[in-house]
Structure 1
Amino acid sequence: MPALSTPLSQDSRCKRLKASSSREHDSVDALVMAARPFEDRERYARFLHVQHRFHGSLLSLYHDEQLNQRLPGLLQLSRFEAVETDLRDLGLALPPAPAQVSASPAQALGWLYCSEGSNLGAAFLFKQTQQLGLDGNQGARHLAPHPDGRALHWREFVAKLDGLALDAEQDAQVVAGAIAAFDSYRAHLRAVFAG
């Protein structure tokens, strides 16, 4: 029986997302490193405020019933509570709750792609926190690897996202959502580290 479609590995949604948002991703990486968030605990505290703003703004997406039906287990993936615990570990007051992202269901998938993908890239950041005496039990919980491991967790998320039936317009919205997420993170970085 002939294949009805090309294998996901050749032209998957997440591969297209990565290609379409690579410039934004690289820009965020460069800005994070330029901010020197692991130079000392004061700068790391600022980084936690960036994380609080970004992950807090996604709470409504992680709690969305429709999104949880499409991406089973989504609710458990939010790292916002861990960010708040990390702030408390450093003796910092919790900032006000961030405004929630407003996105279509398809755009929300792009935001979640950005958020979950950041956990894969957090391995380097997590190692840097150890130079500050922090780890997955104290001050750097939100950067700690998923219990199943970073790579396996990411592959499972990608498989769910790639498996969704979306039309071309919705796929374009997913890309727009991912780019908006990177733009949002850059804005938080600039706002927090400018002071």
Structure 2
Amino acid sequence: MTQIVYLKPPENIADRAATLRISTRTAHEGVDEAIMKSGALDSPQNYHRFVHFQHQLILDVEPLYRREDLQKIFPDLSQRSRLAAVQSDAAYLGIDPPIGRSGADLYDIGIPEALGWLYVSEGSNLGAAFLAKLVWAHGLTDDAGATHLAPPAIGRAAHWRAFTASLNAVEQTPDEDRRTIESARRAFAHVRALIGSHL
């Protein structure tokens, strides 16, 4: 079975990002496996389901990218939102958008919990490099149908390093770090649930 290969963050990243990676490895691998088993990237028709899934997921996490308290931690947070890109892809492909958000309202969660969700959301940009190659095989491009999978202007690795630098700079107590890990696991569980219902 084909595996999604993620770019590895630098070895000298601070402990929080490394701890999150280790603590969520099983959940992360489960998401990768579920996506590949779904066959959502095997054909243009199946890819429509994938875009609908991505649209729902990105819509669900969008409140985080609009929160002023989080924008103080991640100055480029609003520019990292992929909602406009996935909306463009859905329109190009003629896909009806999801109706509303699913799951918890992320406007109301604490900063430690928000960091866990953002870790999962931003980490998906690394895996998108592999997903994009599969989609290109169907004739779609970064400008037509696969915009939300396109690399950031500064490159995926640099984009990730900038995020983890800000993530690791947040001062938290051990209990708050525990809440961040638990939240990241909940975020992966939410992704798995969406895979089950959309793919």
Q: Same fold (TM over 0.5)?
A: yes
Please tell me whether Structure 1 or Structure 2 has the larger radius of gyration of its CA atoms.
1
Q: Counterpart in 1 of 2:19?
A: 16
Give, in whole Å, the separation in 1 of the partners of 2:25 and 2:98. 31
Structure 1 residues 6-155: aligned runs within 5 Å: 9=12, 12-99=15-102, 100-101=105-106, 103-155=109-161
Q: Counterpart in 2 of 1:4?
A: none
TM-score calculated relative to the size of structure 1: 0.91
Kindly indicate whether residue 164 of structure 2 is the aligned counterpart of residue 161 of structure 1. no
By how many angstroms is 1:11 displaced? 5.5
Unmatched 5+ stretches in structure 1: 1-7
By how many angstroms is 1:103 displaced? 2.5
| Superposition CA RMSD, Å | 1.4
> Residue type of the partner of 1:117?
G
Kindly indicate whether residue 173 of structure 2 is the aligned counterpart of residue 170 of structure 1. no
Q: Counterpart in 2 of 1:180?
A: 186
What is the number of residues matched between the two proteins?
Answer: 186
Contact 1:50 1:188 in 2 (8 A): yes
Give, in whole Å, the separation in 1 of the partners of 2:13 and 2:51. 37
Aligned-residue identity in percent = 37
Unmatched 5+ stretches in structure 2: 1-10
Q: Secondary structure at the match of 2:193?
A: helix
Give, in whole Å, the separation in 2 of the partners of 1:12 and 1:154. 15
TM-score calculated relative to the size of structure 2: 0.89
